[in-house]
Structure 1
Amino acid sequence: MLTRQRKQHILSVLRRDGHVVARALSDELGLSEDTLRRDLRELAAEGLLQRVHGGALPVAAAEADFAGRQQLAPQEKVAIGRAAARLVKPGQVVFVDGGTTAVQLARHLPANLQATVVTHSPSVALELVAHAGVEVVLIGGRFFKHSRVAVGSAAMAAIARIHADTYFMGVTGVHAEAGLTTGDLEEAEIKRALMAAAAETVVLASSEKLGAASAWVVNPLTPGVRLLVSPDAPAQALAPLRKAGVAILRSDNRNNQDNHGDSDGGA
């Protein structure tokens, strides 16, 4: 089999199964694992997959810059943002991450809400200018233009001095084995710090992030994480996440937990 044919076959297996296991595929094709790993490296360099230990996963489409991400699943992000806004209760202190879905959360907070929003995203902060009852705490640091958020040691130090009720997290990939991932090392560190400083974490995940992975791990999936998805999130993508013990919330009008979830974290 020619190199081009092998690579096309690898990508077709990835589309079909949602992952590639290097040993199994090398046996199927009668190739050495070294040859297959070389193909995976080259495909990863072309941005066509994300290499992980033992194989590969779909690359996260959400690694595009802020403007590019605005074009991905815009209606899903509105629905998820609206549902996330309903989870913010009066008097709470909440962390709101950067990203296009987080902007929708801020945009849909009730006009009469009395709460405190802590964010390292100027885009989120600006959405809340007209919310008289929402106190906004803007975390500073080095401005990471790709995602329009503050990162670095100054941001980390500020986060360490805050205890929040809920962290609304944005990621580029959610995978049962690879965990919660993002496309930048410093962003991953900030997200990890925000997660540690909050009593609970709600991950805002439009469908293109489900089953995908990026290079930098924020945290493994744990039963304490709640995942807020759209009503149209594919059942096939949710099944392994549910098996990992994650509580799944659907962003429908009731914002009820997915009926197939086995945790009691409905909202």
Structure 2
Amino acid sequence: MYAAERRALLASRLSEHGRVSVVDAADELGVSGETIRRDLDVLQRHGLARRVHGGAVARSVAQVVELGLTDREAQHAPEKEAIAHAALAFLPDADGWAAFDAGTSTAALVDALPADAAFDAVTHGTSIASSLARHEGVSLLLVGGRVRPTTAAAVGADTVAAYGRMRLDVAFLGTNGIALERGLTTPDVEEAAVKRAVVAAARRVVVLADSSKIDTEYAMSFAPIDEIDVLVTDRGVAREQVSRLERAGVEVVVA
């Protein structure tokens, strides 16, 4: 079967069933999972699919509503835990400053901090701050603003201005989507503004994102791909995705 025929069949499956599993499609068509992932990437670029962990869903049923913290904490929990432990390698020295974005992936990193962690930390996430405050060796600065209930993140002009006055050694960022063309994206304009300010303040940007977020885009872009130093993701990432990101200058760590 030619690639065009295979992709047409996958598009038909998406239209009929709303979703396609990489494993099931590979078995049915007698090709590798990586081949199916490439096909689904092509369909996504043509607006026919949205890539998710393990396959793709039709654009008509793709998630457009931003999930709250409780729902997001339950998604890909084992992957986030593995990502968090791998990201510990990028913590600053005792005299260094680290920013922790609001979100469930960064929350997993804070939960994974060793009891003797010692560095200066800043965050605009209220739940993140509560967890960091339990570490006696961590000197914590909480950035204020209007708190969005959906993410428990402070947002607004004051939040952006506060980060604009900082110079940080490393920023640990979460994202809803990451793609070569549009970089890091998120659904909310105010959260995008804060994330943009965090990126601008940091000498090193470390993104924590499970593999379902790769090649996925949302409305608001907050950082181009060339402003990302490291992406820590899980084993669900395709080799081709890793290669493309590395060619763009991103160090990819697979947890």
Q: Structure 1 counterpart of 2:120, which letter? A: T
Matched, 1:85 2:85: no
Decide whether the 8 Å contact of 1:70 with 1:100 is kept in 2.
yes
Tell me which of 40, 54, 75 is aligned to 1:17: 40
The 1:214–1:224 alpha-carbon spacing in structure 2 relative to 1, beyond 3 Å, is closer
Decide whether the 8 Å contact of 1:223 with 1:245 is kept in 2.
no
Q: Structure 2 counterpart of 1:16, which letter? A: D
The equivalences for 1:186-265 within 5 A come to: 186-222=190-226, 224-251=228-255
Shift of 1:19: 4.0
Q: Structure 1 counterpart of 2:70, which letter? A: A
Shift of 1:223: 6.5
TM-score of the two chains, using structure 2 as the length reference: 0.76
Q: Gapped runs of 5+ residues in structure 1?
A: 26-42, 49-58, 252-267
Tell me which of 94, 100, 114 is aligned to 2:98: 94
Which residue matches 1:38? none
Return the alpha-carbon distance in structure 1 between the equivalents of residues 70 and 115 of structure 2.
Answer: 27
Superposition RMSD in Å:
2.9
The 1:100–1:137 alpha-carbon spacing in structure 2 relative to 1, beyond 3 Å, is same
Q: Structure 1 counterpart of 2:119, which letter? A: A
Shift of 1:15: 8.8
Matched, 1:176 2:180: yes
The 1:15–1:60 alpha-carbon spacing in structure 2 relative to 1, beyond 3 Å, is farther
Which is helix-richer, 1 or 2? 2
Which residue matches 2:73? 70
Which residue matches 1:8? 15
CA deviations over 1:171-227 (Å, ceiling 9, x no partner): 011112221111111111111100000111001011111111111111110175211
CA deviations over 1:141-193 (Å, ceiling 9, x no partner): 01011111000011011111211100101001111222111111111111110
Decide whether the 8 Å contact of 1:60 with 1:209 is kept in 2.
no
Return the alpha-carbon distance in structure 2 between the equivalents of residues 223 and 155 of structure 1.
Answer: 21
The 1:224–1:118 alpha-carbon spacing in structure 2 relative to 1, beyond 3 Å, is same
SS in 2 for 1:239: helix
SS in 1 for 2:74: coil
Decide whether the 8 Å contact of 1:111 with 1:131 is kept in 2.
yes
SS in 1 for 2:226: coil
SS in 2 for 1:113: coil
Decide whether the 8 Å contact of 1:223 with 1:247 is kept in 2.
no
Q: Gapped runs of 5+ residues in structure 2?
A: 1-11, 21-35, 49-57
Identity of aligned residues (%): 32
Return the alpha-carbon distance in structure 2 between the equivalents of residues 219 and 127 of structure 1.
Answer: 27
Return the alpha-carbon distance in structure 2 between the equivalents of residues 240 and 76 of structure 1.
Answer: 21
Tell me which of 152, 159, 167 is aligned to 1:148: 152
The equivalences for 1:99-118 within 5 A come to: 99-118=103-122
The equivalences for 1:159-174 within 5 A come to: 159-174=163-178
CA deviations over 1:24-51 (Å, ceiling 9, x no partner): x9xxxxxxxxxxxxxxxxx75x452xxx
SS in 2 for 1:75: helix
Structure 1 segments (4+ residues) deviating >4 Å:
9-15
Which range is displaced more, 237-246 or 13-22? 13-22
SS in 2 for 1:165: strand
Return the alpha-carbon distance in structure 2 between the equivalents of residues 225 and 163 of structure 1.
Answer: 16
Give the number of aligned pairs.
218
Which range is displaced more, 218-227 or 204-213? 218-227
Return the alpha-carbon distance in structure 1 between the equivalents of residues 103 and 97 of structure 2.
Answer: 19
SS in 2 for 1:222: helix
The 1:224–1:126 alpha-carbon spacing in structure 2 relative to 1, beyond 3 Å, is closer
